[in-house]
Structure 1
Amino acid sequence: MTEARTSCINPRCNRTYKQEHEGQEVICGKCFRSLPDAVRTNHRRYWREYRKWDRRIKRTRDELKILHMRVIRDRFGTMIDCHWDAEIKPYFLSPEKPEGLDAFLEEVGL
């Protein structure tokens, strides 16, 4: 029996993880640490806020407060998804070309 595996989003990385959800994307710790500091800081901040609101929802019993807090938590979830698609995936899937002759010739059209 083979279990489904999900690979790191970095195509040059060979790490795989057990697949928990269909269409899941993961990044390994080594590749995450290779991201620029600003990108890592923002991503961690979004996740910290998401988990904070999730804990608050679990502690609260008032239904109106729970509805309001879910809206806030879902907003941070959307921010995480947008940050993943706009900052993290493009960093690995379409890296910037280094300055050099090949990049110049391609830019000129030769």
Structure 2
Amino acid sequence: GADSLYPSGGPHNVLFGGNDTNADTFYLRRSGNTTSSTTMDMTPVSGDVISVSAFYAFFEWSAVESLLTEDATDTTMQLGEDNLLCIKSVLPNELSEANFSLA
């Protein structure tokens, strides 16, 4: 808990929140290779925060919220043409501004 988690920069990254009560922050980064896609799967736990500022300068929750899509039991968020965030086992209606770090 209370960790800063960064994807490795490969084409598919999987990040997990801790099992304790301390909040973790998931920092998303753009892929260095713009010709390949990057998929980031993450499983946050209560209190964890997702920082998407590397992709967009989001200033309002409504801008983030409009990109969240339900996919079975997960939430997906398209971050540009080639980057997809999949928030595992969390539906869009379970997310709020408190779960995201805006620019």
Rg: which structure is higher? 1
TM-score band, normalised by the shorter chain? Answer: under 0.3
Give TM-score scaled by structure 1 length: 0.21
Normalized per residue, the structure richer in helix is 1
